[in-house]
Structure 1
Amino acid sequence: MPTTEVQPGPPARSRSRRSFEKTLASAKRTMLLSEIVKLAIDSFKVSKIRFALTALGMVIGSASVILVFTIGSTGKEYVLGLLQKIGTNMVMLEYEGGGAGNINEYRNDYLTLDDERAVDEQVTDVAKSSPMLEMHDRVSFPGGVAKDVLVLGVSPEYRDVRNLIVLTGRFFDGEDETTHTKAAVVTEPFAREMFGSDAAAINQTFQLSGIPFTIVGTFKESVDTFGQSEIADETILIPYSVGRYFTGTDNVKQIFFSIRDPNDVEEASKEIVDVVHARHMPSSVYRTTTLTSLLTTAAKIANGLTVMLVLVSAVTLAVGGVGIMNIMLATVRSRIREIGIRKALGATAREIKLQFLIEAIFISLSGGVVGTLLGLALPVSIRIFTDYSIPISIWAVVIALVTSTAVGIIFGTLPANRAAQMDPVESLKYE
């Protein structure tokens, strides 16, 4: 009885072709990646001391990167913290020049208390403000010594706008301002030189232009500005309403403003100048000063120094990489017969290269992991056992680990290529 042969359809031919491609791929790649990794691990178990000593350079390099990054971030936070204590939301307005009239009858266009009130009403971002009058007087200290002192007439809000710290006593308040009380708040050096200590100066009196003033408190700046602000070592603060009687004018030297949101400082400072310009002559010039640009510059400098220090510490990683390459070259030389046997048994050049490259990456990455843990141990311990909050950046960890892996790849490529290019016949003859 005749039989009919069934021809395989398209699906059967497709399956047959896929099977053939898998067989061909298997012939080209006789070992799985997991097997290559296992061989690399076995080689480390045989020579643990060599492995540990080779990875030591990467441990030191990675720990250095973490610590340098941490030190740089800590320094940056410290500097920015000091600047923020001065007042990142503070705007200082002052008269620069300009006015009207000829040389003999020139009229300056100074700031006034009405300018402060206008800004408070029209600029919604302003939270608090204070005018400032500046005077100088000669005060007699114990021992018959007379010194020139700086006297500033300010409002009670000046304390908050300038972030002043009251050491003893109190700051004069709105009632003192309204009733024109002859109250004074003095700096710490003034109180100590005049009365011996801060506490002893409270409720003591001294004279300014023959008028007795009572010390109600002592103060200092949040950050030592080393004489670069309007406050000197021996400064006396008195209510603005009292100070204007000494000057005999409503003119104001400077006006300080506190902005609600530090992000709005630059925009608010422009609005403040616009409001004041609208109230004065067109030729008059008024300038605002903020700490925003200073903060930005300080942050850039700190970031630049951190990057530079990290790059310097990365040299240690490069030195560790050279050590890895030297050891791997020595390892290839000591395992020439092993390489020949593996090639004779069917191992491809790709597998040989991959094995030695993985060994180099393992050495580098394991050293990077241990170094990263050691580098993190110090800042983490400080955060746990002390009150200091040392910044820990995830980017430092990423940089250390990525760099360690890259070093293993870069410095492990040469030994791996040399092993892969060896002739199996010559390798088997090697003694």
Structure 2
Amino acid sequence: MPVAVRQKSFESTLRSAKTSLVFRETMHLALDSFRASKVRFLLTMLGMIIGSASIVLVVTVGMTGRQYALDTLSSIGPNMVEMQYNGGATVGADGASTPDYMTKEDEAAVLAQVPGIAQSSPMLEVHAPISIGEGKTRDVMLLGVSPRYKDVRNLGVLSGRFFDDQDTIAHEKVGMIVEPLAKTLFGSDDAAVGRVLNLSGIPITIVGVFKQRVDTFGQSEISDDTVLLPYPVARYMTGTDTVKEIFFTMKDPADVPRGAARILDLIQSRHRKGSKYTAFTMVAILDTMKKVADSLTYVLTAAAFITLVVSGVGIMNSMLANVTARYREIGIRKALGATRHEIRLQFLTEAVFLSLSGGVVGTLLGLALPVTVNLLTPVHIPMSGLSAVVALLTSVLVGVIFGTLPANRAAALDPVEMLKYE
């Protein structure tokens, strides 16, 4: 091997060994400094612990909120398109205005001309009083729907059964009663099945009790006083075949926006000009809930980052005080041959070690909550590994940024002056 090559290899090995020695010495000094001032460093780390844990928990809360929104809308029916009549009455020759409601023929036309529809149900609404004992009456809302309404609205049957196509064809006077009304009238779900309600002089036999799978907080057509009837029976009670709402479900959730637009165009084309209809879908609500969850996550994450910045200021103050307290040590090290770079690296390493230690503890605490909940309860809380990585990287960055000033100050000290300090 040529002499020049061997010399180069020797110099490279020497540099590597020196770098390794400097690194080990720097880490040893950082640990010694930590052991010498445990209480001060632990208090300084507290801000980093809180900030790092906050980042992980904020992201976890945001992900949990998003998942809850998805689960809620999935339970209501993510594929659903709800057509509503919103007004736009036409004035006739006699000066009277007539609402331009939708009809069963509109539903049939949509099913025939719009592809990708899985199921549909009209909804006819009428109110009627019922007796609740001791001469008291209560107004209930009757909804005339088809048997497909159960699947379209993803309803749960608690007792009995849902009326079927045979009931609808035969115009059977049967109905479904919502859970709160069943408990109010009969005390329990099972006690309601088989009982008869007198609605506008028509005896309706209750064949089942139902509920919505998720609480819609009063934002759906179903209330605590709802009774579902086969559409022909409700139509007989009202004397009209017009409907205010028609529900559709698409086979593919991706087709919902396009399908809703086509349904709206078709129904508007079948009615008078000026009549107003709306195609309501869960897509818009889902997008809004996602945006709200994301915005809340961003705001809370920014607050967590502010905590880290404040903690970084605390680290900088602590390190500046540490430099002042170790003037003589710095002077001795420089007198023994330590370079400015080595002194700077020593104090920068201490700052990063301090911030990263707080970041690791905070991140572990932030992850401990969702892990504990997932292990000990049936509730599933999503976790983000990315949030843990971001918290740790931010901790390192805070240590570098706020440790640079104390490190530069220590490196710039004059060893002759420093040796005078006791």
Q: How does the TM-score come out when normalised to structure 2?
A: 0.89
| Selected match of 1:45 from 32, 38, 45 | 32
Q: Which position in structure 1 is the counterpart of 2:61? A: 71
8 Å Cα contact 1:128-1:161 kept in structure 2: yes
Contact 1:31 1:347 in 2 (8 A): no
Across the aligned residues of Structure 1 and Structure 2, the Cα RMSD in angstroms comes to 2.9
Following TM superposition, by how much is the alpha carbon of 1:304 offset from its aligned partner in structure 2, in angstroms? 1.6
Q: Tell me, what secondary structure is at the counterpart of 2:419?
A: helix
1:96 aligns with 2:86: yes
Q: What is the match of residue 385 of structure 1?
A: 376
1:230 aligns with 2:201: no
Structure 2 residue aligned with 1:5: none
Matched position secondary structure for 1:32: helix
Counterparts of 2:34 and 2:184 in 1: how far apart (Å)? Answer: 73
Structure 1, residues 36-62: CA drift from partner, whole Å, max 9, x if none?
A: 353233331354225545434322332
Instruction: Report if the CA contact (8 A) 1:349-1:420 is conserved.
Output: yes
How has the CA–CA distance of structure 1 residues 157 and 423 changed in structure 2, closer, same or farther, with 3 Å as cutoff?
Answer: same
Shift of 1:125: 2.2
Q: Flag the 1:94–1:225 CA change in 2: closer, same or farther, 3 A.
A: same
Give, in whole Å, the separation in 2 of the partners of 1:155 and 1:266: 24
Distance (Å, rounded) in 1 between the aligned partners of 2:317 and 2:185? 73
Measured at CA, do residues 34 and 364 of structure 1 come closer, stay the same or move farther in structure 2, by a change above 3 Å?
Answer: farther
1:23-38 mapped onto 2 (5 Å cutoff): 32=19, 35-38=22-25
How do 1:339-358 residues align onto structure 2 when only pairs under 5 Å count?
339-358=330-349
**Who is 1:8 aligned against?**
none
Summarize the alignment of residues 214-293 of structure 1 with structure 2, pairs less than 5 Å apart. 214-293=205-284
Distance in structure 1 (CA, Å) of the matches to 2:63 and 2:375: 18
Cα distance in 2 for residues equivalent to 1:410 and 1:37: 22
Whole-angstrom distance in 1 between the partners of 2:340 and 2:18: 12
Deviation per CA, 1:393-416: give whole Å up to 9, x if none.
Answer: 123212211221111012111110
Distance 1:181 1:392, change over 3 A: same
Code of the aligned partner of 2:399:
G
**Aligned partners of 1:195, 1:240: CA distance in 2, in Å?**
25
Which amino acid counterpart does residue 233 of structure 2 have in structure 1? V
* 1:55 alignment counterpart: 45
Structure 1 ranges of 4+ moved more than 6 A: 12-16
Closer, same or farther in 2 for the Cα pair 1:355/1:37, shift >3 Å?
farther
Structure 1 263/14 Cα, relative in aligned 2: closer, same or farther at 3 Å?
Answer: farther
Distance in 2 between residues matched to 1:44 and 1:286, nearest whole Å? 72
Residue equivalent to 1:111: 102
For 2:236, give the aligned amino acid.
Answer: Y
Looking at structure 2, the residues matched to 278 and 356 of structure 1 have their Cα atoms a distance apart, in angstroms, of: 76
- The one-letter code matched in structure 1 to 2:57 is L
Contact 1:187 1:219 in 2 (8 A): yes
Given candidates 114, 129, 132, the residue that maps to 1:138 is: 129
Quote the Cα distance in structure 1 between the aligned partners of 2:291 and 2:309.
27
Deviations 1:120-166 (A, max 9, x none): 22222211110011111122221111222111110001111112121
The verdict on how the C-alpha distance between 1:142 and 1:102 changes in structure 2, with shifts beyond 3 A counting, is: closer
Look up the match of 1:83. Answer: 73
Judge conservation of contact 1:99–1:281 (CA < 8 Å) in 2: no
Is the CA contact 2:126–2:141 (under 8 Å) kept in the aligned structure 1? Answer: yes
Name 1:179's counterpart in structure 2. Answer: 170
CA distance in 2, matches of 1:191, 1:347: 85
* Alpha-carbon spacing, 1:385–1:225, altered in 2? closer, same or farther (3 Å): closer
Q: Which runs of 5+ in 2 are unaligned?
A: none
Paired residues of 1:115 and 1:276 also in contact (CA < 8 A):
yes
The aligned amino acid for 1:244 is R
User: 1:30 touches 1:346 (CA, 8 Å); kept in 2?
Assistant: no
Q: 1:234 to 1:128 in 2, by over 3 A?
A: same
Quick one: percent identity of the two aligned structures?
Answer: 52
The answer to whether the 8 Å contact 2:309/2:398 transfers is yes
Distance (Å, rounded) in 2 between the aligned partners of 1:41 and 1:103? 97
CA pair 64-37 structure 1, distance change in 2 beyond 3 A: farther
Alpha carbons 1:177, 1:241 under 8 Å: kept: yes
Tell me the amino acid that sits aligned with residue 244 of structure 2.
K
Cα displacement (A) at 1:348: 2.6
SS state of the match for residue 429, structure 1?
Answer: coil
Which protein shows a greater Rg? Answer: 1
Q: Displacement of 1:172 after TM fit?
A: 0.5
Distance 1:400 1:359 in 2: 19
CA contact (8 A) 1:130 1:155 kept: yes
Following superposition, the deviation at residue 230 of structure 1 comes to 1.5
231-240 or 244-253, larger mean C-alpha shift: 244-253
Going from structure 1 to structure 2, the CA distance change for 1:332 and 1:90 (only over 3 Å counts) comes to: same
Q: Which runs of 5+ in 1 are unaligned?
A: 1-11
The alpha-carbon deviation at position 392 of structure 1 amounts to 0.6
